[in-house]
Structure 1
Amino acid sequence: MIYRSGQRVLVQGITGKQGTFWAQKMMETGTKVVAGVNPKRAGETHLGVPVYGTAVEATKSTPCDVSVIFVPPVLARDAIVDAIDAGIATVVVLTEHIPAQHVLEIHARAKRAGCRIVGPNTAGIVTPGEGFVGIMPGHNPNIFQPGHVGVISRSGSLGTLICLNLTRAKLGQSAFIGIGGDPMIGTTTRDALEALDRDDRTHAIAMVGEIGGTMEEAAAEYAAGMKKPIAAFIAGRSSPPDKKMGHAGAIVTGGKGGYASKREALERAGVKVVDTPHEIALALADVYA
């Protein structure tokens, strides 16, 4: 789930407006986009790479390590299953509002195939200095700079703000992992935390959580045994119970998934929980000092 230089990327939906724009930006930062998929334009060349009718056809000619999905909700299930069937190891699913029954099927098929799903409703993954996959502004040097702080976020906008603050603090990022804001996602906060814990380039971690679900509590269990320092911000502190927020997964019922529960679990694990996003960079700057 951490993008590495040289990994070959397939863009499903490459000829659409968003697919074209972001594929071009990915390529400008060094991301190795090797092919695209659009069943209606198979056989063409777009942005200098071949376009195929399916991911299965694409990988027969061009091996791919990562696929990114620029496909609308009604067609997303078929596109993701196509990528899984093609044997692609990581599928970055940007699409939101995919029907729940389709999401369940996707995760089951991915698990059987040993495929890593990032998302749905993710903003993508970024490794400054190497490339990015998705719709994060990985091409903007004011936001992303190579460094040693790994960033985990459900939210693309909050993740962008954290990365901006880290860059301004001259800390930079080793990797950004956008796990996605849907209720059923393929990569959890704990999964991302474990990946960054194993990553030699990551010396500290910034975690951006939200109310809803229990991912942060599960991550806290793992964080308790880590040596790398972690600073976290939990969005939704003032949200009333049972209030649905911007992400489909950010809904709290009773005491479970609430702000107090998440903060208590993280602080008990030794995580520095801050009150505003700006304080994450300050907290981690103290560690480096």
Structure 2
Amino acid sequence: MSILVDKNTRIIVQGLTGKTGSFHTEQALAYHGTQMVAGTHPKKGGEMWQGTADGRTVELPIFASVAEAKDKTGADASVIYVPPAGAAAAIEEAIDAEIPFIVCITEGIPVMDMVRVKAKLDKSKSRLLGPNCPGVLTPDECKIGIMPGNIFK
């Protein structure tokens, strides 16, 4: 069995500024130091996101694109908390930026959108977990997704 994420995994959050993305980013940051390094939003690049984890304030930079976020942070994974209408485009953006490991939580993505994503994914070096999945967790190292970290030891 392969370990997909570990304590060194550096994660971009696509959809960080939304309610779901913010909540689960805070949960991940509180889980044994998961390295969430940036968020992306095409209209909010240059802003800072602020949240809390374990009672401390955390700030993450928001970039206008996944490629820029990867270039500036050295990220090697992305998690996608984007509504169904934009999720396929978010996956494709991560593929285009050559993110090695992509996790998409979104459910209800149109089938034909995912057919297009699959064709692009087959020609890339990226791996996709999802869509419509709880994410992935390596106990005591890294949590990406929506599962509660406190049940894993």
Q: Same fold per TM (> 0.5)?
A: yes
Give yes or no for contact 2:17–2:49 (8 Å, CA) kept in 1.
yes
Q: Give the gaps of 5 or more residues in structure 2.
A: 51-58
C-alpha distance in 2, partners of 1:121/1:78? 15
**Correspondence for 1:123 among 134, 142, 151:** 134
- Which letter maps to 1:97? G
For residue 60 of structure 1, report the CA deviation from its aligned partner: 2.0
For residue 79 of structure 1, report the CA deviation from its aligned partner: 0.8
Q: Give the gaps of 5 or more residues in structure 1.
A: 146-289
C-alpha distance in 1, partners of 2:148/2:133? 13
**Correspondence for 1:41 among 40, 44, 50:** 44
Q: How does 1:82-231 map to 2 (within 5 A)?
A: 82-138=93-149, 140=150, 143-145=151-153
Does residue 25 (structure 1) correspond to residue 27 (structure 2)? The answer is yes
Between Structure 1 and Structure 2, the one with more strand by share is 2
Sequence identity (%): 42
C-alpha distance in 2, partners of 1:50/1:111? 31
Partner of 2:54: none
Partner of 2:72: 61
Aligned with 1:41: secondary structure?
A: coil
Partner of 1:226: none
- Which letter maps to 2:24? W
- Structure exhibiting the larger radius of gyration computed from Cα positions: 1
For residue 105 of structure 1, report the CA deviation from its aligned partner: 1.2
Please, what is the CA RMSD of the aligned residues? Answer: 1.1
C-alpha distance in 2, partners of 1:110/1:62? 23
Give yes or no for contact 1:107–1:117 (8 Å, CA) kept in 2.
no
Aligned with 2:43: secondary structure?
A: helix
For residue 49 of structure 1, report the CA deviation from its aligned partner: 1.1
C-alpha distance in 2, partners of 1:3/1:134? 12
Aligned residues between the structures: 142
Partner of 1:280: none
Which string of whole-angstrom CA distances, capped at 9 and with x for unpartnered residues, describes residues 84-117 of structure 1?
Answer: 1111001101011111111011112112112101
C-alpha distance in 2, partners of 1:108/1:62? 28
- Which letter maps to 1:2? L
Q: Relative contact order (alpha carbons < 8 A, sep ≥ 6): 1 or 2 greater? A: 2
For residue 73 of structure 1, report the CA deviation from its aligned partner: 0.6
For residue 40 of structure 1, report the CA deviation from its aligned partner: 2.1
Aligned with 1:113: secondary structure?
A: coil
Normalised by the size of structure 1, how large is the TM-score?
Answer: 0.48
For residue 132 of structure 1, report the CA deviation from its aligned partner: 0.4
- Which letter maps to 1:9? I
